[in-house]
Amino acid sequence: MQPHDVVVRGGTVVTPGGRHRLDLGIRDGRVAAISEDGSLAGAGSLAGGPAGGPEVIDARGKLVLPGLIDVHTHFGLTSGDIATSDDFYSGSVAAACGGVTTFIDFATPEPGQSVSAALAERLRAASRSVIDYSFHGVLIEPPAVEEVGALMEQGLTSFKLYMAYKARRLMAGDATLARALAAAGKRGGLAGVHAEDSDLVDETTAGLVRAGKTAMPFFAAGRPPEAERAAIARACRMAEDAGAPLYIFHLSTAAGLDEIRRARARGVRVWAETCPHYLTFTDDVYGRADGYKFVINPPLRKREDVEALWAGLAGREVQVVSSDHCPFPLAGKARGAASFLEAPAGIGGTELILTVLLSEGVAKGRLSLERVVQVTSSDPARLFGLYPRKGHVGPGADADFVIVDPEAEWTIAPGELHSLGDHTPYEGLRAHGRVVLTMSHGRVIYRDGEFVGQAGAGRFLKRGPTRQVLAFPLEG
């Protein structure tokens, strides 16, 4: 038998199916062997094994999880004249330090540009990523639908369409959405939506402007829950007519979840993600002096929405938790102090997905560790054509792992994080459980507070079709 390059010794490996104390043998960046009897490990510690032998990572007393897959990031994005704090290098470093080993960003074309051309630009920008990556193709104009087949051949098997942002020329019309659902679905791809009804948002916001109600406390009122519910209902009807699957990005409301339940009862194959900020904060923050820090679309909601999303996660009705990482500098966000219309929408969070789920979910009895793995790794891998290479602890899978100290307690502060963002909305949150090591392709890239990986080590992932997940159980 060939020797192992690395052995992860004695950790409690958590999968959707349970927890087991195991040794993991890694060779050539992949899982080569799994043992319950300790036969894979010799002497060694977190610092490495004996000379000439494998590096031995002592994970005793720690949790070992498959690396997280953040399927919703916005690295290197510009909104008007403001750029996000993180590009693909710094954003991927922050992700890695939070246990994320794969992310999916977006290839968004400019007016008149093809999606393929936008993808080429994003691939060049992402070449410095420290972890693996892929992209969703953003479909806006009707001709973009004709690119679906070619994009899938390039490894992009998922697509995003905006049902909002008409003024910013990002919105896809209903005809384009219907055609995109059919085009992706028949090829085994997955189309998803930013579900806010543009007309309702625009009319509501215009009413607030006419009434002079543009101060930050009115922000959430301009994008009401009904806008999300109505958009989800419309998208589900189109998916039903097309006989195609549908993905809902950043679900934020109980009403939206109810609409998903109704669609599933009719047989619609619809999956949903939510984000850490929708599981942590409520719209009360918009009444704070620094409420502009929390401007995000859709906005934060009521406490009952927060609890409905937690229940949806626990009940397997919400399949994915991703970050929607999009941090803007504080000076840019502070433009909203005078009017919410001036604040760029976005919140950072890729480094804190696991922290929030452990602290607000597991520690408070809302979610099991097994379910955390399912919504951050195994289900995203299945939905987005990466399973079993990703999201899986088994022979042949990529050796992407995150090791967590479940007993650690700490307080989140900007200085504790690795994003280039100069603030975090999670500042002051008391955290339970902490990432102590992240491994990508069998190499340690983060250890005990320090990033030790390399720029450009990440690989572009050509993803497969999602046919295998179309019958994936929605419940049970």
| Residue 149 phi, psi dihedral angles, 5° rounding | -60, -45
| Structural domain spans, the chain | 67-391
Neighbours of 337 (CB within 10 A): 15
Question: How far lies 126's CA from each of 58, 108, 316, in Å?
Answer: 33, 14, 33
Q: What is the per-residue pLDDT for 47?
A: 41
Q: What is the per-residue pLDDT for 44?
A: 42
Cβ partners under 8 Å of residue 179, min gap 6:
142, 145
Q: What is the per-residue pLDDT for 474?
A: 38
Helices (H), 107-164: 115-125, 148-153
Q: Which residues of the chain have pLDDT under 70?
A: 1, 37, 41-52, 467-476
| Residue 2 phi, psi dihedral angles, 5° rounding | -65, 145
Question: What is the helix (H) or strand (E) element at residue 228, kind and residue range?
Answer: helix 225-242
Residue bearing tokens 């993180």: 86
Give residue-wise pLDDT tens across range 402-452. Answer: 999 999 999 999 889 999 999 999 999 999 999 999 999 999 999 999 999
Give the SS3 label for residue 315.
coil
Question: How far lies 162's CA from each of 28, 159, 172, 275, 432, in Å?
Answer: 41, 10, 6, 17, 36
Going through 255-334 in order, the beta strands assigned E by DSSP cover 270-274, 320-321
- Let me know: does 128 contact 76? Beta carbons within 8 Å: no
Give residue-wise pLDDT tens across range 207-257. Answer: 999 999 999 999 999 999 999 999 999 999 999 999 999 999 999 999 999
Tokens of 469: 């997940």
C-alpha 253/C-alpha 357 separation (Å) is 18
Q: What is the CATH number of domain 67-391?
A: 3.20.20.140
- Let me know: does 390 contact 67? Beta carbons within 8 Å: yes
| Residue 449 phi, psi dihedral angles, 5° rounding | 90, -5
Closest by CA position to 179, among listed 119, 224, 238, 128:
238
Give burial (CB, 10 Å; 0-12/13-18/19+) of 365.
exposed
β-bridge pairing 443-447 and 30-35: unpaired
- Reported as half-sphere exposure (CB side, CA atoms, 13 A), residue 181 has a value of 28
Going through 141-295 in order, the beta strands assigned E by DSSP cover 158-162, 190-194, 246-248, 270-274
- Let me know: does 149 contact 187? Beta carbons within 8 Å: yes
Look up residue 320 and give its amino acid.
Answer: V
Full-model pTM: 0.96
Note the residue count of the chain: 476
Question: How far lies 326's CA from each of 86, 323, 331, 351, 424, in Å?
Answer: 8, 8, 15, 12, 11
Residue bearing tokens 């998803």: 192
Closest by CA position to 319, among listed 192, 171, 465, 187:
192
Q: What is the per-residue pLDDT for 41?
A: 55
- 197 alpha-carbon distance from chain centroid: 23
- 434 alpha-carbon distance from chain centroid: 19
Question: Is the CA virtual torsion 281, 287, 291, 297 positive or negative?
Answer: positive
- Let me know: does 317 contact 475? Beta carbons within 8 Å: yes
The radius of gyration of the chain's CA atoms, rounded to the nearest angstrom, is 22
